[in-house]
Structure 1
Amino acid sequence: MSLTPELSPKPRLLIVGGGYAGFHVARELQKKVAERGGVVTVVDPRPYMTYYPFLPEVVGGHIEGRHVNVDLQTHLKDAEVVRGAVVSVDHAGRTAVVRGEGGDEFEIPYQDIVMTAGAVTRVFPIPGLGEQGIGLRSVEEAVQLRNQILERLDAGSLMTDAEERKRALTFVVVGGGFAGIEAIAEMENLIRNAVERNERLSQSEIRIVLVEAMGRIMPEVSEEQAQGVVEHLKSRGVEVLLNTSLGDATDGVMKLVAMPSKEEAETFAADTLVWCAGVVANSVVKSTDFPVDDRGRVEATPTLQIKDGEAGALEGAWACGDVSAVPDLTGAGPGGFCVPNAQHAIRQAKRLAANYMAVRHGEGEVQEYVHKSLGTVAGLGFGRGVGNPLGTKIAGIPAFLAHRGYHGYAMPTLERKFRILSGWVAETLFGRDSTSVAGLDTPFNPFRRAAGVELEPGRFERQRALESSKG
């Protein structure tokens, strides 16, 4: 049965990707385009936009996972939302090929296109990483990571084998950028809280390790602030290994190497490996006839149009957000380009929408995208943070409040803001919810058990069975 959707025959503005940038472009333009006889079509594999800065708080249990997602169809009522993945774009022929949910491929014709496919986790060819690791670029990963941590703590507390217990209670995060630091800080908070409630565990048994290949963490803040975060994490029992990289993770055995010499540094077993070592532009741009730079980003002009040669712009082609190389006219961005973050993506989306109306419908003037960064701020667990908003160095509770205040404001839709704020209030009144969802990776087992059929093994059961077969 074909699952090809029925689409409008009207002139189409096709938006590839429904993340920060794509969602905001569609939100700005859906009614304006419809009023002028056209249609906005958003294509994304997921039916929702995820607000990535809140994923660490999902891991920590401060925010319910669903609340960081914004349903596309609900909030883009005047647009078409197609669930699928764009696999190629032929701009010369004004068509895009989409692979739908059922695997069928179909073409979507368009008049104009906006590339906002975002970024994906950057993964290196490290043995065992794909089998052992988990990223933090989706709410599914955040929820699974939270449950895995709590499950490993529960399982470890019952283990009598010293090595197996140590392995279950060891947690590794690779990557010392904002994502990795926020993740490991929230993990430490979650673990400490759970251990305090489990009389079979002690904090001295827990090992939490941060692995960073460079000589410092958090390049977004000053070196002084970064060093302060290192000392803060160490005071909470986190091991911070700088100039160190993961060389191998086969069968859950972490083999660390010193950088840049690549000499062996340390080897230990861990059940939990979190990969936060950066992102890369979505590879869909390589299957288009758009210009792509050496970092895999579609090349854009300062007006957020896709480049045509050195100085020109392709007619009907636009790009913004993490998938694009947008010149940073303030001169602050690395290599002269805007850094991939929500702050730029949201503002670029609004400028692109205004420029699109100017070019396509002659309304307003085309302007270059210029945005001086408001600074950055990271949460380090409840009541803790670090940042430099508006150039002012802050830490502790002020940074924590700035982090929540800014991102709470930036979270799209009033309904989602309210749900998140309500969760924070509930946590303040009643404490953190440290309950895990047992059997998240084997949801059919309760029914299988009732039906008297063989149960599906969980992740760690499968892993141990594989290791036993090798041995």
Structure 2
Amino acid sequence: MPEPRIVIVGGGHVGLTLALRLQSRLRPGEARLTVIDTQPHMTYQPFLPEAAAGSLEPRHVVVPLREALRRSEVLTAQVTRIDHGRQKLCATLADGSEIEVDYDVLVVVPGSISRALPIPGLAECGVGFKTIGEAIYLRNHVLSRLDMAASTGDEQLRRRLLTFVFIGGGYAGIEALAELESMARTATRNYPTVTAQDMRWVLVEAMDRIMPEVSRPMSEYTKRRLEEHGIEVKLNTTAKSLVDGHVELSDGDEFDADTVVWTAGVKPHPMLEDSDLPRDSKGRVECTAKLQVRGTTNVFAAGDCAAVPDLTSSDPDALCGPSAQHAVRQARVLADNVLALLRGEPMRNYKHRYAGSVAGLGLFRGAAEVYGVKLKGLPAWLLHRTYHLAKMPTLSHKARILGDWLLELPFRRQTVALGELHDPRAEFVKAANTRGLPSPHGHAG
């Protein structure tokens, strides 16, 4: 008989953790493993803020799938349809061609994407913070605003350039804002005409608190720490319009900003919309406590895209939250249950009580609440780094990240904008179309 085929849709943190565990535990000839993702790498999202701020080399927070999964088949493709009735899925390859992939066991872990709201101007001027490309872009963008502000005599333009708005006060928004503000504050030391006080950093949150994952006292502490560094925290506030960078808020405040970052929530990957798998009102795949998709025996799901019962709650309808902590632990149970299915063994339920949260608030600053123990400042910052270093896949990437941190101790962060990364052909096109006028960095032919 041919080997049964396990197909994993999604090569993010959950997909890679799951595939690594299966790869190490499958017996020779027991099953064939295929991983499909639009990107050839996994991005460890908790380290995106540090990559954006320059504490980590961006290449060190991504893990190439083919490097880590040498005993698996990796397809760089976009899954466009799941037809469980026929046990097949359709995918579009990088060259535009379409293929059908059959499976015996399917694991759906495509993760989530930013959940944007229909705010005028958001699509034109906003940027998310979920990918390594967005993190690198924001680093270069923020630093380039300092360069431009230092070179202009237009006071109105200068205020616009030095105004940075983050919409969404969850972990992603708080950490991105804190790290980028810390980086920009350090960078102003190199600009005689720009000071940290010239910058305006604004956090907009619709709820009455930030970081709802932690207790209210820790939320208040984090808010105070942000405000101590001059960051305006606007609670119970929403963005009404962002047209042409003119920010209009529900509290009546209006100003111009050249940087708008959207971190106000996520939604399940839209790929799930074209599938015959059961989904809940939020678009997540409905699962049992064994992480099997309801109504199936050979389809599993986990992570942000899955509605998994929370067995630790007294509420029978409670679901596990979309956190990295749940996702990674679900991946391990899911791998064991897939092996149990192949071997005819009993599966086990996923049950994990939320341990708490850790957050970095810029260099040497943090907030943490783990099993009811609250940590602040340097101890929380060290716990944040230690925890995520331990969770980073592969030993080589752990070593590279540790090396980046050690080099940061005796040397300052490198704060330079490399805007050419976003349009690398611009200078060449200019040179090709303008005879005799070489780039200031090049030489005339």
Q: Which residue of 2 aligns with 1:330?
A: 312
Calculate percent identity across the aligned residue pairs: 43
Q: Which residue of 1 aligns with 2:129?
A: 136
Structure 2 SS opposite 1:440: helix
Question: RMSD in angstroms over aligned alpha carbons?
Answer: 1.6
Q: Which residue of 1 aligns with 2:427?
A: 446
The answer to whether 1:292 aligns with 2:273 is no
1:159 & 1:31 partners in 2: Cα distance?
58
> CA 1:196–1:184 in 2, change beyond 3 Å: closer, same or farther?
same
Q: Which residue of 1 aligns with 2:195?
A: 202
Q: Which residue of 1 aligns with 2:250?
A: 257
1:110 & 1:33 partners in 2: Cα distance?
17
Structure 1 SS opposite 2:421: coil
Corresponding residue to 1:248 among 233, 241, 248: 241
Structure 2 unaligned residues grouped into runs of 5+: 436-445
Q: Which residue of 2 aligns with 1:212?
A: 205
The question of whether the paired residues in 2 share the 8 Å contact of 1:57 and 1:63 is answered with: yes
1:399 & 1:410 partners in 2: Cα distance?
17
User: In the TM superposition, what whole-angstrom CA distance separates every residue of 1:149-176 from its partner, at most 9, and x where no partner exists?
Assistant: 0001101111111111110110000001
Runs of 4+ in 1 over 6 A off after TM superposition: none
Q: Which residue of 2 aligns with 1:311?
A: none
The answer to whether 1:100 aligns with 2:90 is no
User: In the TM superposition, what whole-angstrom CA distance separates every residue of 1:332-390 from its partner, at most 9, and x where no partner exists?
Assistant: 8996111112211111111111111111223x531101112221110001110001112
Deviation of 1:304 after TM superposition, in Å, equals 0.7
Structure 2 SS opposite 1:280: strand
2:424 & 2:388 partners in 1: Cα distance?
33
TM-score (norm 1): 0.89
Corresponding residue to 2:253 among 246, 256, 266: 266
The question of whether the paired residues in 2 share the 8 Å contact of 1:18 and 1:44 is answered with: yes
Q: Which residue of 1 aligns with 2:373?
A: 392
The answer to whether 1:372 aligns with 2:342 is no
Corresponding residue to 1:409 among 378, 390, 399: 390
> CA 1:357–1:155 in 2, change beyond 3 Å: closer, same or farther?
same
The question of whether the paired residues in 2 share the 8 Å contact of 1:21 and 1:321 is answered with: yes
Deviation of 1:453 after TM superposition, in Å, equals 4.7
Structure 1 SS opposite 2:326: helix
Q: Which residue of 2 aligns with 1:262?
A: none
TM-score (norm 2): 0.94
2:314 & 2:15 partners in 1: Cα distance?
24
1:333 & 1:192 partners in 2: Cα distance?
46
User: In the TM superposition, what whole-angstrom CA distance separates every residue of 1:251-271 from its partner, at most 9, and x where no partner exists?
Assistant: 11111113xxxxxx1111111
Q: Which residue of 1 aligns with 2:108?
A: 115
Deviation of 1:437 after TM superposition, in Å, equals 1.1
Structure 1 unaligned residues grouped into runs of 5+: 1-8, 259-264, 309-313, 455-471
- Counterparts in 2 of 1:11-50, with a 5 A limit? 11-30=4-23, 32-33=25-26, 35-50=28-43
Q: Which residue of 1 aligns with 2:52?
A: 59
Structure 2 SS opposite 1:305: coil
The question of whether the paired residues in 1 share the 8 Å contact of 2:3 and 2:29 is answered with: no
Q: Which residue of 1 aligns with 2:402?
A: 421
Letter in 1 for 2:338: Y
Structure 2 SS opposite 1:429: coil
Q: Which residue of 2 aligns with 1:301?
A: 288
